[in-house]
Structure 1
Amino acid sequence: MSEIVLEIKDLSTHFFTDRGEVPAIEQVSIRVHKGEVVGIVGESGCGKSVTSLSIMQLVPSPPGKIVSGEINFKGEDLAPASEKRMKKIRGNEISMIFQEPMTSLNPLFTIGNQMIEALRIHQKVSKKEAREKSIEMLKLVGIPRAESIIDEYPHQLSGGMRQRVMIAMSMSCNPELLIADEPTTALDVTIQAQILELMRKLNKEKDTAILLITHDLGVVADICDRVIVMYSGQVVEEGTKREVLKDPKHPYSKGLIRSIPKLHGREEKLYSIPGTVPKPKMDRIGCRFAPRCEFAFERCFKENPGLYPTGDGRSSRCFLYDKSEGDKKINAATNKEATIGG
């Protein structure tokens, strides 16, 4: 395996509100290697975006704050890094594509002004050189008429074109890590496919590591190497794309896979995981998925599960894989799952 670009260790980010302390993510650990595409999946509110914003030190403070953990980027812990240090890293060594490009691009400045500014800040090049590099990057992401588009304003471009501009901006300084937060949301299927193909191309040609945040398992299947499944602010499963999609271990992951509509079959109603995501709160006792879990037993409501190894370098936050429980409950759960799915 290639060198580790990003290693998050037990990261916890909380929000301090009038109603008390609210944990957004708790003890999240993620590892991304050079040239690897890692996907983070989960329902809305599971902590995916807060994780990405924590890496970039963009969580609004107040009310948000990283309360514990490490964010090791090429061996440097960014959790306690100053704003001055982060300004040198953001957009240069780590870039981010936000979910909605219209809110990320300044409507008062042309595309060229915004791209040129970023290049001149980080790479210390002349205005002419920065303009030429910007046009080159716009062409690289498949934007026609790059020489004229560079002088247009964000509102003059379509959603797909603005997203391409954001990708061009994020890749212009050749970052070692690209964080993409729902980069294809609200785009039509054709443009979505083009954006994913573009990201795959940049990943292969530049050997850029990508941390892709999405709720679309189809996107994960298309582009990712490994998958992190999050639920209620915690990582509940980790494995390769093929392992997680073909043989999910955690009951929540199983529910996500079962929720995917199938082309073949005549089911009258799509499967959905029963219940709702619990509201985040401090000192929660028991597995957070237990109230919605078909395989929950007494211990699930009394203790907080850790991440247990499930073989082949995989892990799952489920007591079914705690060796002290033995194989009895795993077999019982497997049999129950076969009965439900049959």
Structure 2
Amino acid sequence: MRNKKILQIKNLKVSFQSEKKLIPAVDDISLDLVEGEILGIVGESGSGKSVTSLSTMGLIPSPPGKIEHGEILFNERDLTKLNEKEMRKIRGNQISMIFQEPMTSLNPLFTIGNQLIEALKLHTKQPKKELRDRTIQLLKLVGIPRADELINEYPHQLSGGMRQRVMIAMAMACNPQVLIADEPTTALDVTIQAQILTLMKELNQKMNTSIILITHDLGVVAEICDRVLVMYSGQIVEQGDVHTILKNPKHPYTMGLLKSVPDIRGKKERLYSIPGNVPRPGSIIQGCRFAARCEEVFGQCLEETPDLYSMEKQDHNVRCFLHKVKEGADDSVGVTS
């Protein structure tokens, strides 16, 4: 059933203890992941994307991290209530994650084959004699040539693209229902990036695996995602289907991200960049968190925190006073720069 919600995050708040107080890194976010879809989460460094994914995997270090409140429902089971032993049965089996840098995720002292076999031993009950064949099968699944030879090689002998494919093979070893990919194409050249994205799309279609793709690259989102969430300073500022967000963005931050994407069809002397930086977590107590960088800012933005307002199109929400909608009527403030 395509509309089944396989993962639901409700009002999640994750904070980290500093010397004096708890500082929120993810502040009251909610999202749904539907079976078989690819959901993109976009934002600059420090926006809370990776903390959200690590919370889902039960990998927030405690201390200093702490889930203050909220639910993470996987097949209607709240993961925040599980102990480490129970989470271990889900992590890798039913929810897998591909981390940003494959070279630091793979152990340099063991061959590719050893590491894949160890993952299979940990999560499956396959007979030992079948583990090697399953390992070769997984490597072939992710498009690695001469897989029967490569299992005897070490991570440093492979290119960045090949190492990333190995990480995807490891994540797919148990046919997980959800795959979280945290910046899977970072540090790869453009050609290899395209191959990895194509591979992920194929796995999504063949295995019906739901994917959360975390990235700062809207070009990647446009390539393979069905829906997209835009995060800023620990909050969701806009969400909707990918065509709506890319063609008709409503939040000034989303507009700024799209204006920053290079366009080979037009020549510009300088690329657009959003002025300023992402605020330090916990530094903004009052008002909209994007106000200091926003070209559309007005008085209310500095005094009140906007909610996620519903737009005319279904499932399109924006956290901005410019698009305050009440009872289905557009109550937009209508400020222009």
Do the aligned partners of residues 297 and 324 (structure 1) sit closer, same or farther apart at CA in structure 2, a change above 3 Å counting? farther
Unaligned runs of 5+ in 1: 338-342
Q: Alpha-carbon deviations, 1:59-91, whole Å to 9, x = none?
A: 122111111111000110001211001111111
Aligned-residue sequence identity (percent) comes to: 61
Which has the higher mean CA deviation after the structures are superposed, 159-168 or 274-283?
Answer: 274-283
Which has the higher mean CA deviation after the structures are superposed, 203-212 or 289-298?
Answer: 289-298
SS at 1:270's partner residue? coil
Q: Alpha-carbon deviations, 1:238-278, whole Å to 9, x = none?
A: 00110001000111111111111222334322211112111
Give, in whole Å, the separation in 1 of the partners of 2:265 and 2:114.
50
SS at 2:80's partner residue? coil
Contact 2:50 2:214 in 1 (8 A): yes
Give, in whole Å, the separation in 2 of the partners of 1:16 and 1:310.
36
Contact 2:253 2:294 in 1 (8 A): yes
| Equivalent position of 2:236 in the other structure | 235
| Equivalent position of 1:313 in the other structure | 315
Q: Alpha-carbon deviations, 1:28-69, whole Å to 9, x = none?
A: 111111110000001111111111111001112211111111
SS at 2:139's partner residue? helix
Deviation, structure 1 residue 315? 0.3
RMSD of equivalent CA atoms = 1.6
Q: Alpha-carbon deviations, 1:155-214, whole Å to 9, x = none?
A: 121111110000001011000000000000000111111111100000000000000000
| Equivalent position of 2:83 in the other structure | 82
Do the aligned partners of residues 30 and 324 (structure 1) sit closer, same or farther apart at CA in structure 2, a change above 3 Å counting? closer
SS at 1:79's partner residue? helix
| Equivalent position of 2:324 in the other structure | 322
| Equivalent position of 1:340 in the other structure | none
SS at 2:117's partner residue? helix
Deviation, structure 1 residue 283? 7.0
1:43 partnered with 2:40: no
> How is 1:227-266 mapped onto 2 (pairs within 5 angstroms)?
227-266=228-267
Which has the higher mean CA deviation after the structures are superposed, 140-149 or 209-218?
Answer: 140-149
Do the aligned partners of residues 32 and 236 (structure 1) sit closer, same or farther apart at CA in structure 2, a change above 3 Å counting? same
Give, in whole Å, the separation in 1 of the partners of 2:131 and 2:189.
32
| Equivalent position of 2:301 in the other structure | 300
Give, in whole Å, the separation in 2 of the partners of 1:41 and 1:178.
16
Amino acid at match of 2:321: F
> How is 1:1-342 mapped onto 2 (pairs within 5 angstroms)?
1-281=2-282, 284-311=285-312, 312-323=314-325, 329-330=332-333, 332-333=334-335, 336=336
User: What is the number of residues matched between the two proteins?
Assistant: 334
Unaligned runs of 5+ in 2: none
Give, in whole Å, the separation in 2 of the partners of 1:323 and 1:193.
39
Give, in whole Å, the separation in 2 of the partners of 1:158 and 1:266.
34
Deviation, structure 1 residue 329? 4.5
Q: Under a length normalisation based on structure 2, what TM-score does the superposition of the two structures give?
A: 0.95
Contact 2:324 2:331 in 1 (8 A): no
Contact 1:23 1:282 in 2 (8 A): no
Give, in whole Å, the separation in 2 of the partners of 1:84 and 1:65.
18
Give, in whole Å, the separation in 2 of the partners of 1:283 and 1:50.
19
Do the aligned partners of residues 176 and 327 (structure 1) sit closer, same or farther apart at CA in structure 2, a change above 3 Å counting? closer
Give, in whole Å, the separation in 1 of the partners of 2:30 and 2:23.
19
